[in-house]
Amino acid sequence: MPAHCKATRDGALRMRLSVDEAAQRALQERYDRQLRLWGERGQCQLQRARMLVVGASAIGAELLKSVVLSGIGHCTVADAARVRPEDVGSNFLVSEADVGLWRAEVVCEALREMNAAVSVEAVVGEPAQLLERVGAASIATYSLVAVARQPRSLVQQVADVCWEHDVPLVVLQSHGLVGYVTLVVREHIVMDVAGSGSAVPLASLQLARPFTEVVQFCRDHYWPLEQLDDDAHAHVPWLALLVLAVEDEPQPSVETVLRRLERWRRHNSEPNFTEALLMAKRVLRGASDPPMLLTLERCRSRPVEAVARALRTLQAKRGLPVSRAIPEMHCDTASFVGLQEVYRQRAAEDVAALREVLAADAETATGGACVDDPLLQAICDNLYNMACMRTGPYRPESGCGAGKRRADDFEGEDGAASWLVLMHAYDAIREKHRAPLEDATVLEAALQRVLQQFDLAKVHIRPARIQETLRAAAVELHPVAAVVGAIGAQEALKVLTQCFVPIDGTVVYDGYACRATVLSNPPE
């Protein structure tokens, strides 16, 4: 079973495990290298995540391998095929002895062996019944759905359900040496655009309007400055200097504050003053709302939108929540620990105050939506590191941008969109004729139909690429499956951990040139 997460009293997200300390330690060690990338919160999100993967050929297997190794909570693998001889040697998760068995079941068994902490489940059946077996309604329960090398009709069906239920979707396809990954998110909140271990955002210290407790702390410890001896004077943290220089000004101007700091400074070899002067400019000139607040207020997610509105109320009442961490600075331990504690307490009070605001108009504000503590804490922690992204809905032509695309996407050096339409044209024929295609004119005719359908009739597709598509015959090549499956896994992990901004459309992989070009699919 996946580990569950909760916010502990000090606010840190910890993995609450029903197992003993040794097991938790084992998990920490296992995931050490990635915890440093997306942090405990990201890992926690991942361990709670449920993913559905439709398609267990090489490309699906490569995607599954990467997310299972990273410790996703649950995976459902749905696949309509039995293991064929050609799967062996191409799909790493199956071997000779498995020929004839349901492929999804074999793949699940291998995944279990790879990471016992992940729960995996296989869904098998004839192609026509696959979605039914998965249960279209249950799609809403997944954190992300991936569809790997499936017929176009099935992809569209799954995509429509995902869109309706706000479930992120990853579509993967490969044809010989080319392939693509499409990400569709109706709305995705990125909690941490910079990654774990990045610097504390300066704005989150709220130094333009310092809060009462930090002002009090600085007055108690460092004021009046002129009474400190030289040593102590040189060691007043820059943060405290700035607070003291700003605190009694209702609308502090940069000039006043700079002048004040210059006046207090005793000589040039006081690095903390240099730092305070530098920070003063950055803090006071950049004083504004977190860029995200506006976006969050227009969020589709009811809980997030409710929190955003509560933040506005809080801002008017007592200011936006402060960071509970402070940046590294030159000062003695006592000063650092003291300031750290002041911020930590204030941050905890801010979260509590925000919770109160939310509770006060629970009915109207959230529309009954429940805002849980980890979400509240995460938003307060990441207010300055959040982003919200949206793509348009999935359509075969999404990546090609239906008419909006420039000819360059087809005819330029990359010509990424031309590969995309060629793959769609080939797939369209394949759905009618199972046998490998031999006749270029059939493909060209299909291509013209697809271009027309996509409203792209005027673009020119290089004949060499048409030939090559024909020759590749949609074969699934192992190195391409490895790259495309892993790119799919990277994007899935960015979405699931809510750390880093994922791609905003389709990435087309061209194995001839070893190039992957992103074609965006903007929301309508």
Partner 1 sequence: MATEFVDLLPATSSAPADHALHPAVLRARVLVVGAGGVGSEVAKTLLGCGFRRLTLVDLDTIDRSNLNRQFLFRRADVGERKCQVAAQRLREWMAPATAATSECPLEVDGLHGNVMDSARFDVLFYRQFDVVVNALDNAEARRQVNGMCLAADRPLVETGSTGYLGQVMPVLPFRTECYECTPKPPPRQYAVCTIRSTPDRPVHCVVWARHLFQALFGKVSSDADADGLLSDVDCRPEANELADTYVQRLLHALYVRDVEAQRSMEDLWRGRRAPEPLPLAELLPQAEARLPHVPYRANVQEAWPLVDWLAVFWLATRQLVRRLSGTSTTANTTTGDGDGGIAFDKDDTDALLLVAAAANLRAHCYHIAPLPSAFQVKGIAGNIVHAVAATNAVVAGLAVTEVLKYVVLSSVAGAATMVPNALRSVFVRRVPAGTRDTRRLLQPERLHAPHPHCPACSIGKVAVEALVDAAQVTLGDWVRDCLCGLLGVGRAEELSISVLSSENKEHRPGIAVLYEQNAEVDDGEEEEEEEDLWRRNAAKSLAALRLGHGSRLHVTAVDRAADPPTELMMEVCLLWPTTATVQASPSSSMLWRVAFGHAGTRRPLQMEEGVGGSGGEHGERNEGLTSTAADHVIAVLDDSDEEGDEESAKEPPPKQRRIGQAHAAHGVVDIPD
- Map the footprint of partner 1 across residues 174-233, applying CB under 8 A: 176-177, 195, 197-198, 230-231
E strand intervals along 133-212: 144-148, 169-175, 178-184, 188-190
303 vs 415 by CB, closer to partner 1: 415
**In this chain, which of 40, 109, 444, 455 binds partner 1, going by CB under 8 A?**
40
- Which window, 32-40, 183-191, 342-350, 354-362, contacts partner 1 (CB under 8 A)? 32-40
Q: Is residue 385 within 8 Å of residue 487, measured between CB atoms? A: no
> How wide is the angle at C-alpha 516 spanned by C-alphas 510 and 518, nearest 5°?
125
96 vs 356 by CB, closer to partner 1: 96
Provide the 8-state DSSP code for 499: B
Contact letters (x/-) for partner 1, 120-159, by CB under 8 A? ----------------------------------------
- Which window, 26-34, 145-153, 297-305, 449-457, contacts partner 1 (CB under 8 A)? 26-34
d(CA 456, CA 7): 51
330 binds partner 1 (CB under 8 A): yes
Residue 123 is inside which H or E element, if any?
strand 119-124
162 binds partner 1 (CB under 8 A): no
Residue listed under structure tokens 């005719």: 445
343 binds partner 1 (CB under 8 A): no
Positive or negative CA dihedral for 403, 409, 415, 417?
A: negative
36 binds partner 1 (CB under 8 A): yes
d(CA 378, CA 197): 15
H runs (alpha helix) in 200-297: 212-222, 230-234, 238-246, 254-264, 271-285, 292-297
d(CA 370, CA 72): 24
- Which window, 135-143, 312-320, 390-398, 501-509, contacts partner 1 (CB under 8 A)? 501-509
388 binds partner 1 (CB under 8 A): no
33 binds partner 1 (CB under 8 A): yes
Sequence-distant (≥ 6) Cβ neighbours of residue 31 within 8 angstroms: 43, 70, 71
30 binds partner 1 (CB under 8 A): yes
60 vs 511 by CB, closer to partner 1: 511
130 vs 261 by CB, closer to partner 1: 261
Sequence-distant (≥ 6) Cβ neighbours of residue 457 within 8 angstroms: 448, 451
248 binds partner 1 (CB under 8 A): no
Least separation, in Å, of the C-beta of 304 and partner 1? 23
d(CA 491, CA 483): 12
408 binds partner 1 (CB under 8 A): yes
Contact letters (x/-) for partner 1, 270-309, by CB under 8 A? x---------------------------------------
d(CA 502, CA 518): 11
Alpha-carbon Rg for the chain in angstroms: 28
Query: What angle in degrees, to the nearest 10, is found between the helix axes of 212-222 and 238-246?
Result: 110
168 binds partner 1 (CB under 8 A): no
Which residues in 413-472 contact partner 1 (CB under 8 A)?
413-414, 436, 462, 464, 468, 471-472
366 binds partner 1 (CB under 8 A): no
Number of residues in contact with partner 1 under rule CB under 8 A: 99
d(CA 359, CA 336): 34
**In this chain, which of 17, 95, 152, 225 binds partner 1, going by CB under 8 A?**
95
Sequence-distant (≥ 6) Cβ neighbours of residue 291 within 8 angstroms: none
Residue 300 CB neighbour total at 10 angstroms: 12
34 binds partner 1 (CB under 8 A): yes
Least separation, in Å, of the C-beta of 366 and partner 1? 32
252 vs 511 by CB, closer to partner 1: 511
**In this chain, which of 41, 50, 65, 346 binds partner 1, going by CB under 8 A?**
65
**In this chain, which of 4, 89, 262, 360 binds partner 1, going by CB under 8 A?**
89
477 binds partner 1 (CB under 8 A): yes
